[in-house]
Chain A
Amino acid sequence: MYIYDDFDLTLVAERVAEFRDQVARRLSGELNEEEFKPLRLMNGVYLQLHAYMLRVAIPYGTLSSKQLRALAHIGRRYDRNYGHFTTRQNIQFNWIKLSDLPDVMADLAEAGLHGMQTSGNCVRNVTTDQWAGVAPDEIEDPRVWAEILRQHSTLHPEFSYLPRKFKIALTAAATDRAAVRVHDIGLRLHKNGTGETGFEVMVGGGLGRTPFIGKTIKPFLPKRDFLSYIEAILRVYNQYGRRDNIYKARIKILVHELGAEKFAAEVEAEWRNIKDGALALDPAFVADIAARFRYPDYKALSDNPIELKRARAADPKFEGWFRNSVTPHRTPGYAIVTLSLKPEGAPPGDATSEQMDAIADLADRYSFGEIRVGHEQNLALPHVAQRNLPALWEALDAVGVATPNVNLVSDIIACPGLDYCSLANARAIPVAQELSRRFKSLDTQREIGRLHINISGCINACGHHHIGHIGILGVEKNGQEFYQITLGGRADENAELGALLGPAVPYAEVAEAIEDVVAAYVELRERPNELFVDTVKRVGIEPFKERVYATR
């Protein structure tokens, strides 16, 4: 956990007061909607199809049980008793009244929560590995750097009116769980030849209507230069990013138009001017931030305790969940537990207020009061003693968050789509729900193996369809919902964009088409553990295309 001090809380409280004043001026007509819009956006307030939507920041996906209870309270008191966890480790409430918003913000502030950096053309909530600090394969906790960046970019006077939104992700692990190559800036902590830890800096990745994989412009950036170099990137982008066309305003277009080398040279020139200034990081400052991340007082336990062995042997349901949802922890005797928010037939990523309260209680009892939110729209309890797994499983199952489908075909990532969003061309949630019903058999899902389906209801790609092993993109044709299917995308350290399968299929046929793709994969794979993406890579799109379009 990162412990907020009085500085952080003062700033959040002042933000609430400012927003209260802005809402009052909007309600009185002193501000018109055009003037109010960027102000509400900078507090995470959108105007959606049916109502205002509030997005609350969950920096690098770390929540305390107190904060999760505060979110449950917001859902219960001001919304329709649920919240929706997003692909950027945030949470959204879909039915908030404008006049309630200042009170909502004040309630959130009591738990150190706010909507800053969740919207608007600023540096957005910095994301990282949801297992940061506990993953066995990381070289250090990347949240320290995410927090330094969060502080630096919060209400930044120079970068609050960028050409477009700006997303930064960090990873410190061998396996990239933060999708850093599809962010405006991706940062990978690694060691150079002399054993010093620093950052590989990637820039210009992104999805949306013009997807790009980020280009490395600095293979090794020393820690001291972390902020000054990022400031230089932002300054170059702020001055030269396109502002004439919203669809060409992201940094990826600037990098593409200038070329990565020229862009890197511009950044380098700017950076030389500022690298030895106020942003050069003092190790004492980094140590101070790091010291405010508290780690649990782990007990000396050993792996595979008898309680775990017994439960695994006795109960096949527990065994199935254990194999699917429990991941190794860096501390012996502990485990990371993923809580699936993808039960059969439900909208991906939703949690009711009762579920949030129950999970907060379980976090207190079994995970040192800490919860994580992953970009796959699931939650995790990061510090569970293995001997407590059987009891935890029963409790999670009782509240409906123990579906053992993590990373399987029904663990679908989907945007809100036409059910909520004013930008959408097609529904996304009902497609996810239908797929989760068709693939409801856990045996079938296990047989298929790891397979990520991502669904976006429009070209803005909030469901990250480009990087789904199977991507589904909703488009509108003559007033009808159609879906384009892409195969072979991935977001990890081998990030790649999916390839288009063929003509879009109508709403009524999309689930069946996906079933055909999966059936083709099962026949085509060389061995049972050849992953879907690897099969696509090996055989190409054609065999899938033949299968899907033969009968259409």
Chain B
Amino acid sequence: MPLVRNGAIAEDRFVRILDDMPVPDGLAAIVPAARLLADAGELARRNGALGVLWPNDRNVSELTPHLDRLALVALVFPNFRDGRAYSQARIVRERYRFRGELRATGQVLRDQFLCMLRAGFDAFEVSKDADAQAFAAVVSRYSVHYQPAGDSTPSMSMARLSRARPAAVLAEMPRQD
């Protein structure tokens, strides 16, 4: 499964640790949420970057005591129609100010890239090769967004206010006798 990170296909330096498997020292590793919560002290003492795979039905507020030690938070889209991780991503980025890698996992398809990016994800375990290849083109489809969100692009509402009144494009109301 190709990984797109910061807009380009990249090598995945993290290994995925399942349940109770030992976590090798010196490697970047992603552990399950339960493991992080149970073995936090031990995991903090090892060498190597640490990431967590956080399910979409667990409150992300439980992550807060650990965030400053985490290099990566992976959130899950069990299928692309289940949008809970969008809210989790925004809370982790905007409220908890997490600056590490925020990775989208699960069913990650091209037509959701832009929503994910705007919610604050910067890494994507993409389900299809062709979608990963198309990443840059897909996320540049829209040059304008109405609302402010987790990314840094200016919202239309703010942009509108910062310039002179636009000329109306559609006709004004007709006059009448």
Q: A157-B145, A239-B84 are in contact. List 15 more A-B contacts (CB 8 A).
A: A1-B173, A3-B172, A11-B142, A17-B141, A121-B81, A121-B83, A155-B115, A157-B86, A157-B147, A158-B86, A238-B84, A279-B148, A285-B161, A295-B173, A366-B176
Considering the chains assembled together, what is the distance between the CA atoms of A339 and B175 in angstroms? 22
CA distance A278 to B157 in the complex (A): 11
In the complex, which of the residues A5, A38, A158 contacts B80, with contact meaning CB atoms closer than 8 Å?
Answer: A38
Chain B residue contacts of A243, Cβ below 8 A:
82, 84
Q: Which of B80, B142, B173 has the most CB of A within 10 A?
A: B173
**A284 B161 Cβ-Cβ under 8 A:** yes
Beta-carbon contact of B160 and A294 below 8 Å: no
B51 in the interface (beta carbon within 8 A) = no
A9 CB to closest chain B CB (Å) equals 5
The answer to whether A66 and B81 touch across the interface, beta carbons within 8 angstroms, is no
The dominant DSSP class at the B interface is loop
From B87, B109, B130, contact of A238 by CB (8 A) = B87
Does chain A have a CB within 8 A of B22?
Answer: no
Q: Is A10 a contact of B144 with CB atoms below 8 Å?
A: yes
Residue of A nearest to B146 (CB): A151
A15: nearest chain-B partner, CB-CB: B142
Note all chain B residues with C-beta closer than 8 A to A277: 94
**A10-B143, A18-B141, A30-B130 are contacts. A297–B175 as well, Cβ < 8 Å?**
yes
Chain A 410-445 per-residue mask, 1 if CB under 8 angstroms from chain B, else 0: 000000000000000000000000000000000000
CB-based contact A368/B173 at 8 Å: yes
- A157 pairs with B150, CB closer than 8 A: yes
* Shortest CB distance A238–B (Å): 5
Contact of A11 among B112, B146, B171 (CB under 8 A): B146
Q: Is the CB of A157 within 8 A of B170?
A: no
Q: Tell me whether A496 is interfacial, beta carbon within 8 Å.
A: no
Binary flags per residue of B64-105, CB closer than 8 Å to A gives 1, else 0: 000000000000000011111011101000110000000000
Pick the contact of A152 from B90, B95, B109, B146 — CB < 8 Å? B146
* A162 located at the interface, meaning its Cβ lies under 8 Å from any Cβ of chain B in the complex: yes
Q: Which residues of B contact A121 (CB under 8 A)?
A: 81, 83
Which B111-134 residues have C-beta < 8 A from chain A? Answer: 111-112, 114-119, 130
- Top 9 nearest A-B pairs by Cβ distance? A161-B83, A157-B118, A5-B166, A278-B148, A157-B115, A151-B146, A3-B168, A158-B86, A369-B174
Q: In the complex, what residues of B have CB within 8 A of residue A184's CB?
A: none
Whether, in the assembled complex, B159 has its beta carbon less than 8 Å from a beta carbon of chain A, the answer is yes
* Chain A 245-280 per-residue mask, 1 if CB under 8 angstroms from chain B, else 0: 000000000000000000000000000010001110
CB distance from B81 to the nearest CB of A (A): 6
Identify the closest chain B residue to A285 (Cβ).
B157
CB neighbours of A159 from chain B (8 A): 83, 86
Q: Say yes or no for B169: interface residue by CB 8 A criterion.
A: yes
In whole angstroms, how far apart are the Cα atoms of A112 and B118 in the complex? 25
Q: Inside 8 A of B149's CB, which chain A residues have their CB?
A: 156-158
| B18 contacts the other chain (CB 8 A) | no
Given A7-B159, A11-B142, A11-B144, CB of A157 within 8 Å of CB of B114: yes
Contacts of A18 in B (CB 8 A): 141-142
In the assembled complex, A35 has its CB within 8 A of some CB on chain B: yes
- Nearest-Cβ distance from residue A426 to partner chain B, whole angstroms: 29
Q: Which of A156, A370, A385 contacts B173 (CB 8 A)?
A: A370
Q: Does B34 contact A (CB under 8 A)?
A: no
- Residue A64 CB within 8 A of the other chain: yes
Per the 8 Å Cβ criterion, residues 379-421 of A in contact with B are 385
Given that A157-B119, A161-B86 are known contacts, is A368 also in contact with B170, CB under 8 Å in the complex? Answer: no
Contacts of B150 in A (CB 8 A): 157
Chain B residues within an 8 Å CB radius of A284: 161
Residue B15 at the chain A interface, CB threshold 8 Å: no
Partner of A151, one of B82, B87, B157, B172: B157
A321 to B119, CA, bound (A): 54
C-alpha gap A32/B94 in the complex (Å): 35
Selected from A4, A6, A151, A368, the residue in CB contact (under 8 A) with B176 is A368
